[in-house]
Amino acid sequence: MRLRSEQSFLLIVDVQAQLAPHVEGGQRVVAKCAALMRAARLLQLPIRITEHCADRIGHSVAEIAALAQPGDTLSKSYFCCTAEPGAIENFNALGRKQVVIAGMEAHVCAMQAALGLADHGYQCFFVEDATGSRRASDHAAAIERLRASNVQIVTTEMVMFEWLDRADVPEFRELLKIVKSV
């Protein structure tokens, strides 16, 4: 199953101010999420960003917030974003059945987003190097469980080049800059 830019959207899960500093490799995860967002914008893919209990955990980190547009951000209190009232309708309105998932924590909200979206018929692509947990063992357990659940495990660079599809397009040079930036 290949990613198609016209069929997919990007979901950034809970990359928030009071959580990110505690995630192992948190700065790398933030950088990879931002790179995915820049690539999605370049290729005109929709983006959705979740914020879990932002009144307590803080809003999205500055790097993510700077790339957000009005309507991108969904507030939630459920760990699984698809359980949040109105969320699945928001995703369905995008008219795309592939979702690329990145963010925090891999073994809680990001994993539950993938499982929930898969339950709703979405093809899910979980970006291993753009997700993180406080402990490496939790991240590894999430990847193992998602693989067993038929969620595709991908990397940031895999996603970008599958979205682009070919090198003889004007976006190639700009996308290459994004790839080299992380």
Q: What is the pLDDT of residue 57?
A: 93
Q: Looking at this protein, which amino acid is placed at residue 179?
A: V
The domain locations on the chain are: 5-180
Q: What is the pLDDT of residue 45?
A: 98
pLDDT exceeds 90 at position 147 = yes
| For residues 154-172, average pLDDT | 96
Are the C-beta atoms of residues 103 and 127 closer than 8 Å to each other? no
Q: What is the pLDDT of residue 52?
A: 97
Q: What is the pLDDT of residue 148?
A: 97
| For residues 91-115, average pLDDT | 98
Distance, in Å, from the CA atom of 103 to the CA atom of 101, rounded to the nearest integer, reads 7
Q: Give 22-55 pLDDT, tens digit per residue.
A: 999 999 999 999 999 999 999 999 999 999 999 9
| For residues 65-94, average pLDDT | 97
State the architecture of 5-180 in CATH terms. Answer: 3-Layer(aba) Sandwich (3.40)
| For residues 65-84, average pLDDT | 97
Distance, in Å, from the CA atom of 37 to the CA atom of 167, rounded to the nearest integer, reads 20
Q: What is the pLDDT of residue 1?
A: 86
CA atoms within 13 A on the CB side of 171: 17
Distance, in Å, from the CA atom of 52 to the CA atom of 109, rounded to the nearest integer, reads 9
Q: What is the pLDDT of residue 16?
A: 97
